[in-house]
A and B are shown apart, each in its own frame.
Chain A
């Protein structure tokens, strides 16, 4: 029915254009127009996502809904869009989380409302562009442009130390991505000298033959960009700062979406383009992932600030994503373990989507508390359950999902990855399993101190329970978390064919 409309372009450009238009109007007197307008745009984007879901044919690994136009024709750069089972759920996640952020901002943002909503809409379009682009330069342009709205969101609406945090965030990410750019140009020339083809297409890059030494260089060049975005252990320090200073909406988008761009980049670029490089360095990455899971988990326990705690728990959970991706290489290209390898990568994918819901919901909860009490310190809370029972019970669901309790979506990804880890090495499985204990420790301990106990701080008495624009996003997220926790099949079916093809691609050496 809608086959003639370039649906992906619509999803990308509609929010960007509307966002840019909204930037022109700088009038805080007509806040409600801005709010309603952005809400309508966001609902319309969700409707477009629904159409996307209908158009998408599950069971195929090929790229679908392709769009291809000349962009910089002399240099072989095309405006190529397309989605497969890996990118489709992430696009829907992006639109959904932006919708939630815009609803939540209804009462919580009071200055420069137009700009706030506009930047989120622009951000949404750009992130969808990242997930949908099949040309590496197009990917890079979206990947970098994404920094600007986030930079402004943290800088304008952030906390006390926002300027330090936002500049650190920007420069860290920019540093990583320039190496990625060099790697892309290098790949372009390798392809040109091999086959004489002038192209920047990601799919062409995936099928190109590379020598071991080339793969080693490219591995680090590309990993650096995505490791900072994910973020992996030694380069994670921008994340807690950015999260603590960002406004609630910024934190939600940062945790739920931008971190996924890193994971998506690893799956889309790193694994299929340089499998031998990944094989050589997979042990290092797996060790770094374990450091992220265990050490950062321990760091999370001792945090005084709720947001910082969730930020560290994000790093710990994203460690699972990198672990799931790189466990594949422990099978040494042995096709007997094909099935386990698929399970590992699927686990990483599930973990990403589930973490999108869970971390978004957790930051939303912190935002709700912060709007009332204007503090994020755990010690200032206690006994919130007496005053906010609905909130407390919803928060409990997210806490459980964050610690990976069976029945929530957090469990599915972790289980799949731990299963694969068992096939590789019992020790790996043991370390991976530690997360269940550590996660439960920091989550439940924080929950206990914030929600239960006696009311010590007199401000707590004044708390009121969640109102509609806080309640419905939370209900929606809780529903999704439980839905995918007990019935992950629809999601797994969606991503399975693409992952299977991907693993088939990465389970063979590319050296000729």
Chain B
């Protein structure tokens, strides 16, 4: 029943709508730009519904294996679409302030989302690369859209580093192609198993280069230098975009590479992932301690979280991908909320990007303050928020794979991490109020969604069972 093009309906809808909106934008006066916004939201909503219905479809491939639709690809699309919906909703009012409420903005975001979706359901290296570039190229231009000097620097940095990373990735792909003669994930897997080329040094080199591409997309050490600068330099709405849903796309890429392609090379990958993970955790947390810019702080904390994801990837396999998916989804949910509150506090004149800009939030607006506290505690992994169970499940699978020391290291790092989250809570609740704080960067609906977002964090923190089941393969 679900055969043919219907499994790629989400991608088709987004690409058609993106083109349509791009043309429509030419004929719409500046006062009526709301239409563009609603059209984009409808697009995303329809993708949410379609992927919700597709989630039960069995695995199938299209275009001679170039496009794969299975449980995880649909689940990742679902999460990406929900994230995209929230991002548009949260940024709407603020975009008007900074004069970015334009058709191009939404089109570029939609195209980037399309890239992510292609990435998570790619079946060959070519599709993967296509998705990767489609994800990145709109982002480069989105960062620079407000034409400030800082953004130009950030965009330039991101662009150059991203291009180098793409080149490295392609070089790795060519090595793997040279050894196996194909770019299809399943075939590569078969060939590695049948011809027993595990210890082939060229193949392993190729693998290392491919992983480098993945590491860059995630923003882990040693390819992490762009993260804090891009987070700081972009307008806050774009920071929210970069800081959230591309992580799940990168997870999808990791799923394709680890589970579909190189599942037999697990021991080599394990070592690589643990090294990357531990170093990222350490550096991300240490650098985050001294930040005063909240966007930069969240950037470094993203590096640390990605380190944690890599540690978790070392202890994942096809039947056990639930915990890490749960972790990334909760990470996205929590950071979405945190960014949304920063947006809500920003005004026409000034982005609330310093920690001190949050001063007095907890006491002047207790509900919003408590919501922000929930998001931060969830990022720090403290119960009763969802972040605790996200960490708990991953640590549990680490121990079940025998990585006892790694688990100890990870939890010690989370103690260090708790300090910089507490520092923000301290500013919100404990310090003398010296600024007159105002929530004016967000519509009523957006504020309601922040409440829902926070309520969800608390709800999943108390009843994690259902959500873990959703994230695990049925």
Task: Mark A residues whose CB is within 8 Å of B.
Answer: 23-24, 26, 70-75, 112, 115, 137, 140-141, 144-145, 147-148, 151-152, 155-156, 162-163, 166-167, 170-171, 174-175, 178-179, 181-182, 185-186, 188-189
- Assuming the contacts A71-B465, A155-B429, asked whether A182 and B377 have C-beta atoms less than 8 A apart, the reply is no
Residues in B with CB closer than 8 Å to A167 are 419, 422-423, 426
Rounded to whole angstroms, the CA-CA distance of A155 and B463 in the bound complex is 29
B411 touching A179 by the CB < 8 A rule? yes
B: number of interface residues (CB 8 Å): 38
Residues in B with CB closer than 8 Å to A178 are 411-412, 414-415
Rounded to whole angstroms, the CA-CA distance of A156 and B418 in the bound complex is 19
Q: Which residue of A lies closest to B374 (CB)?
A: A148
B414 touching A170 by the CB < 8 A rule? no
- Assuming the contacts A112-B363, A163-B430, A189-B400, asked whether A144 and B382 have C-beta atoms less than 8 A apart, the reply is yes
Q: Which residue of A lies closest to B377 (CB)?
A: A148
A141 touching B465 by the CB < 8 A rule? no
- Assuming the contacts A74-B465, A115-B366, asked whether A141 and B384 have C-beta atoms less than 8 A apart, the reply is yes
Q: Which residue of B lies closest to A73 (CB)?
A: B465
A152 touching B429 by the CB < 8 A rule? yes
- Assuming the contacts A167-B422, A174-B418, A189-B399, asked whether A156 and B430 have C-beta atoms less than 8 A apart, the reply is yes
B469 touching A74 by the CB < 8 A rule? yes
Residues in A with CB closer than 8 Å to B384 are 141, 145
Rounded to whole angstroms, the CA-CA distance of A26 and B365 in the bound complex is 8
Contacts A144-B383, A151-B422 known; list 11 others, CB within 8 Å. Answer: A74-B472, A75-B393, A137-B392, A147-B382, A163-B426, A163-B431, A167-B426, A175-B412, A175-B415, A178-B414, A179-B408
Rounded to whole angstroms, the CA-CA distance of A181 and B392 in the bound complex is 9
Residues in A with CB closer than 8 Å to B422 are 151, 167, 170-171
Residues in B with CB closer than 8 Å to A179 are 408, 411
Residues in B with CB closer than 8 Å to A185 are 395-396, 399, 407
Rounded to whole angstroms, the CA-CA distance of A23 and B369 in the bound complex is 11
Residues in B with CB closer than 8 Å to A26 are 366-367
B370 within 8 A of A: yes
Rounded to whole angstroms, the CA-CA distance of A162 and B399 in the bound complex is 38
A156 touching B412 by the CB < 8 A rule? no
Rounded to whole angstroms, the CA-CA distance of A29 and B419 in the bound complex is 35
Q: Which residue of B lies closest to A142 (CB)?
A: B383
Residues in A with CB closer than 8 Å to B389 are 72
Least Cβ distance of A111 to chain B in Å? 9
Task: Mark B residues whose CB is within 8 Å of A.
Answer: 363, 366-367, 370, 377, 382-384, 388-389, 392-393, 395-396, 399-400, 404, 407-408, 411-412, 414-415, 418-419, 422-423, 425-426, 429-431, 463-465, 468-469, 472
Q: 7 closest Cβ contacts across the A-B interface? A: A178-B411, A155-B430, A141-B383, A26-B366, A72-B465, A144-B383, A175-B415
Rounded to whole angstroms, the CA-CA distance of A462 and B138 in the bound complex is 73
Least Cβ distance of B421 to chain A in Å? 10
- Assuming the contacts A112-B363, A155-B429, A186-B399, asked whether A171 and B412 have C-beta atoms less than 8 A apart, the reply is no
Rounded to whole angstroms, the CA-CA distance of A71 and B469 in the bound complex is 12
B430 touching A182 by the CB < 8 A rule? no
Q: Which residue of A lies closest to B404 (CB)?
A: A186
For this complex, 14 residue pairs linking A to B, each with C-beta atoms less than 8 Å apart, are A26-B367, A71-B463, A72-B464, A72-B465, A73-B465, A151-B422, A162-B430, A163-B430, A163-B431, A171-B418, A174-B382, A175-B412, A178-B414, A181-B395
Least Cβ distance of B368 to chain A in Å? 11
Selected from B407, B429, B469, the residue in CB contact (under 8 A) with A182 is B407
Q: Which residue of A lies closest to B380 (CB)?
A: A174
Q: Which residue of A lies closest to B427 (CB)?
A: A163
Residues in B with CB closer than 8 Å to A182 are 395, 399, 404, 407-408, 411
A181 touching B411 by the CB < 8 A rule? yes
- Assuming the contacts A23-B366, A73-B465, A178-B412, asked whether A141 and B388 have C-beta atoms less than 8 A apart, the reply is yes
Rounded to whole angstroms, the CA-CA distance of A174 and B382 in the bound complex is 9
Least Cβ distance of B253 to chain A in Å? 27
Residues in B with CB closer than 8 Å to A144 are 382-383, 388
Rounded to whole angstroms, the CA-CA distance of A170 and B423 in the bound complex is 12
Q: Which residue of B lies closest to A152 (CB)?
A: B429
B465 touching A23 by the CB < 8 A rule? no
Rounded to whole angstroms, the CA-CA distance of A71 and B389 in the bound complex is 12
Least Cβ distance of A148 to chain B in Å? 7
B415 touching A171 by the CB < 8 A rule? yes
